[in-house]
Amino acid sequence: MYSIRMLPRSSLYNSSQRIARCGYATTPYSQPAPYPSNITEADVGAARSYCSSLLQKFDSPSYTLQTFIPHSARDAYLSIRALNIELARIPDLVSSPTVGSLRMQFWRDNINRTFADTPPQEPVAILLYHALNSLRSQNPGISAAVVKGWLLKIINARETYMDNRPYTSMEALETYSENTYSTLMYLTLANLPLHSMSADHVASHIGKATGIAAVLRGLPLIAFPPPPNHHSNTATYGVNTGGTRQGAVVLPLDTMAEAGVKQEDVLRYGAEATGLKDAIFAVATRANDHLITAREMLKNLQQGKEAGHVFEHEGEEGHQYAEPKTSTAAEIERGFGVLMPAVSTQLWLERLERHDFDVFRPELRAREWKLPWKAYWGYSRRSI
């Protein structure tokens, strides 16, 4: 289905160039399909299945929580979350920042082609293109320019920290979380479609909490990375990957300094490094603070009150708002399903606390069996 199409001999050179560029994808399905009419319902179905399987394997909370996304926005949700996984996996699939940058550029090209109505024959792009067409057909005159800008914003943020550089401060970690996980939630809200400052404001805090928790959850794998991917394209370009990867500790530098944590101690002693649990506690507390703020805001907005503080990102790209046509309570009700990552994030932070903030405990990488019924309970009561 995603195989290379037979091309005229005269176009063979250009085709080989395109295929070489597509080789940087994290999926094997990356052949250009410049004619949207060639995308069939079978292609869309296969792309949907691929994205769903990707979530089930690499992001089980998002896979579980798709239940609470309205059916009309489900394809957009799956494609957006699948793209996030593809981007997050790039550092694990390459041993050279140069090749990693090429893969990031591949995804930029995919996004640009998708929004230019010439999507590549790649499952994430196909499903995203299908979702965009559905959004436009159901909402004539709607602009998708903001959606494109947000997707590119996620790619840029992922690329900045692709080399596992540490965050200079807690604020830098929050900015990264805003530009990735909060933006994922903005994208889902935009595909409902719902353009609401109140919903975006709550989503911003939940996304920051989720992003911070994701960094903590991934810390053991970054500090003690597995062997490099032997099926990567680095050998093609003569890159000497070596046999091992250099570990890194990506906690905020100011937090590490306050707790007396040294990277070399973490790489040598792991969970027993001096001050590490204190640093983890400080970072986890910031994530929990964002969840507390989101809950307080949600309660106020559901009662028709003010959020309680100003949305700090108002006026930025995609965050210009007209006077609402409905009440804030109605807007929150409409977008409530998008806010459910608060539940999975809270459950993980509670597990982290039970294990005394030892992020190296294998139990913290296991699937959360409580999530389905906790999420259902929260959704039915409109509580996070």
Q: Give the pLDDT confidence score for residue 10 in this predicted structure.
A: 34
- Does 22 have pLDDT greater than 70? no
The tens digit of pLDDT for each residue in 340-376 reads: 999 999 999 999 999 999 999 999 999 999 999 999 9
The tens digit of pLDDT for each residue in 87-118 reads: 999 988 887 888 999 999 999 999 999 999 99
User: Would you place residue 16 in the very low, low, confident or very high pLDDT band (cuts 50, 70, 90)?
Assistant: very low
Higher pLDDT, residue 142 or 151? 151
Residues 273, 265 contacting (CB under 8 angstroms): yes
**Who's near 297: CB < 8 A, 6+ residues apart?**
201, 202, 205, 307, 308
DSSP label of 224: S
User: Would you place residue 198 in the very low, low, confident or very high pLDDT band (cuts 50, 70, 90)?
Assistant: very high
Q: Rounded to the nearest 5 degrees, what angle is found at the Cα of 68, between the Cα atoms of 65 and 72?
A: 120
Q: 363's torsion region: left (phi>0), alpha (psi -120 to 50) or beta?
A: alpha
The mean pLDDT value of the chain amounts to 87
- Does 229 have pLDDT greater than 90? no
User: Would you place residue 27 in the very low, low, confident or very high pLDDT band (cuts 50, 70, 90)?
Assistant: low
Q: Give the pLDDT confidence score for residue 246 in this predicted structure.
A: 73
Does residue 35 sit in helix, strand or coil? coil
Calculate mean pLDDT across residues 322-340.
94
- Does 21 have pLDDT greater than 80? no
Residues 162, 97 contacting (CB under 8 angstroms): yes
How far is the C-alpha of 153 from the C-alpha of 151, rounded, in Å? 5
The tens digit of pLDDT for each residue in 122-148 reads: 999 999 999 999 999 999 888 889 999
Q: Give the pLDDT confidence score for residue 9 in this predicted structure.
A: 30
How far is the C-alpha of 295 from the C-alpha of 307, rounded, in Å? 10
Structural domains of the chain, ranges and CATH numbers in brackets:
16-163 (no CATH), 164-230+242-309+328-384 (1.10.600.10)
**Who's near 9: CB < 8 A, 6+ residues apart?**
none
- Does 2 have pLDDT greater than 50? no
Q: Give the pLDDT confidence score for residue 244 in this predicted structure.
A: 47
Q: Give the pLDDT confidence score for residue 19 in this predicted structure.
A: 32
The tens digit of pLDDT for each residue in 251-276 reads: 999 999 999 999 999 999 999 999 99
How far is the C-alpha of 12 from the C-alpha of 225, rounded, in Å? 40
Q: Give the pLDDT confidence score for residue 228 in this predicted structure.
A: 57
User: Would you place residue 31 in the very low, low, confident or very high pLDDT band (cuts 50, 70, 90)?
Assistant: low
**Who's near 6: CB < 8 A, 6+ residues apart?**
none
How many CB atoms lie under 10 A from the CB of residue 159?
19
How many CB atoms lie under 10 A from the CB of residue 186?
27
Higher pLDDT, residue 107 or 8? 107
Cα torsion 288, 293, 297, 299: sign: positive
Q: Rounded to the nearest 5 degrees, what angle is found at the Cα of 182, between the Cα atoms of 155 and 101?
A: 10
Name the token pair of 214.
């994701």
Calculate mean pLDDT across residues 68-78.
97
Report DSSP letters for 310-366, one per residue.
Answer: --TTTTSTT------SS-HHHHHHHHGGGGTHHHHHHHHHHHHHHTTT-TT-GGGGS
User: Would you place residue 230 in the very low, low, confident or very high pLDDT band (cuts 50, 70, 90)?
Assistant: very low
The pTM is what?
0.87
